[in-house]
A = this chain, B = another copy of it.
């Protein structure tokens, strides 16, 4: 009786191709090992540029407990006319020498891309048979993979047909999720057609959906499973269902990864495979035992790192939005400002994590607390996903709130509903809850992050894998000084929403924020209210001025009545509709110290977006506006 698929999966070593990572070959090996991989693919170019013999790489890998899972690629081999055919056999023998020095027994042959290659599966099979025979004489093996842009062979079924014709025990099929999925193909039928032991190797990569030539797409935009938009889980399920037992190996060509620190990218890669492992549940392939993501109940609080002066200013600023001082911490220089279900924590405690954050980044959000159904389970999921965990020192009788460190270094606290709230245990509460006034703020609707270039994929994977937030479609937002790329993460119920923004230019508001912050961070916080018109009517907050031309056009676009338009204009409110009866009304404050700003919004009729159509007007208005000044 075969093993259960779950056990099979757990037994598969996890591997990463050196081409995924930046730096020298030793840097890459070290990063792969430190992220917990069991194996590496040696990408030939990395060996060619390395100043040292292959035997040294073999030793280094062994010292790091890394298996060298494969040597790749061997290009443009099969079905060439003479004299190239003969020369290619010589070339293969030379590479076998290298493999033996490296101590790996498998080489990847990718389908020929040369114009001179013959369209002749029998010749391709004969060549691969001869290469496999030569490999077998040395105890080596050959895997054959269909490149999506191969000259005559670009589908896995064609490659499998040739492997069958060659019919040599040292020759197997190699499958790659990008080469299959990028062509709109799937592995449907794999398990019926290909015995698992004939699959020599499996390479995994995801990618954003781009309509461009597949070669350029592959060479620049691949990313790790869960970071893109391809169905890598379905691909992996098919491979496992067919009985494959070898490594799952990441092979990603990505411009941003190549420019990022190798250790960070290696850890993201391993995280992606652990996540993948947990989502490939299917009748025949149960999920690996990672605790499920938490059910989210919204944002319990946001914590701002301040010093005493900035704390006073920020308190004055949020008071204009209707927040009231609701409590003081029992043992620390920390205030709670509250309105409805929104809690803002202003932390000026010296020698705390917040103080460290303030010193590095200035006044800004240093922690976000999420309401979760089970904090211990969420924490153990995060640990299994290679996150670092944080526990703040606490005073006597105070609650310890566990936290996960986000990729920008801020903390994400995990707060469970309990008999006694954290506010009661840790704070002297000053004012009783009052019934909400019309237009009062009710909840945190979304927390927008500005990221530095190259951080988007890592953030998407972190929030998707740890908290089960799903990414929306990528958007481009027009700042007057350049484009801002945006992707919104949200849980299925829409209780926790987190737009992620990246600006290539340092001149946009987003780019300037990242420069001012010396890193990524929370750029703006949006609060929901059930009645934004009442908020606007009663507002004392310094709201962003919106030009009259905007309302002129709004009338023409949505056919709004003059009276409704005038009300919007008076309230400095922007408007968007989703064409299905949903509407979004929102207004923005000017910024606090040119660092972050607040938004107040009302969602009507199931509107699920973020008013992206208004981003251009908002950003141009922000470019004109001056930051708020106290007093």
Contact = CB atoms under 8 A, between A and B. Distances in A.
21 contacts: A22-B507, A24-B624, A44-B553, A45-B478, A45-B616, A48-B547, A48-B552, A48-B616, A50-B620, A51-B547, A51-B549, A51-B624, A53-B548, A54-B549, A94-B552, A94-B556, A212-B212, A220-B483, A258-B481, A259-B482, A259-B483
Contacts of A545: 51
Nearest to A619: B49
A625 to B, nearest CB: 10
B259 A505 contact: yes
Nearest to A547: B51
Interface residues of A, number: 58
A24 B210 CA distance: 31
A377 interface: no
A557 B94 CA distance: 10
Nearest to A215: B211
A607 to B, nearest CB: 21
A118 interface: no
Interface string A6-17: 000000000000
B49 A550 contact: yes
Interface in A529-559: 545, 547-550, 552-553, 555-557, 559
Contacts of A483: 220, 255, 258-259
Interface string A37-59: 00000001101111111100000
A358 to B, nearest CB: 27
Interface in A94-119: 94-95, 98
A509 to B, nearest CB: 13
A219 B623 CA distance: 22
Interface string A615-631: 01101110110000000
A297 interface: no
B211 A549 contact: no
A616 B476 CA distance: 33
A623 B23 CA distance: 9
Counted per complex, copies of this chain come to: 2
A91 interface: yes
A26 to B, nearest CB: 11
A432 interface: no
Interface of A: 22-24, 44-45, 47-54, 87, 90-91, 94-95, 98, 210-213, 216, 219-220, 255, 258-259, 453, 476, 478, 480-483, 504-505, 507-508, 545, 547-550, 552-553, 555-557, 559, 616-617, 619-621, 623-624
Contact of A23 (B216, B480, B557): B480
Residue from A24, A48, A481 with most neighbouring chain B CB atoms (10 Å): A48
A44 B547 CA distance: 13
Contact of A51 (B90, B481, B621): B621
Contacts of A98: 552
A500 to B, nearest CB: 18
Nearest to A545: B51
Given A51-B621, A220-B483, 9 more contacts: A22-B507, A24-B620, A49-B620, A50-B549, A51-B624, A53-B548, A91-B557, A255-B483, A259-B505
Contacts of A453: 504
A368 to B, nearest CB: 30
Contact of A507 (B48, B91, B259, B478): B259
B556 A90 contact: yes
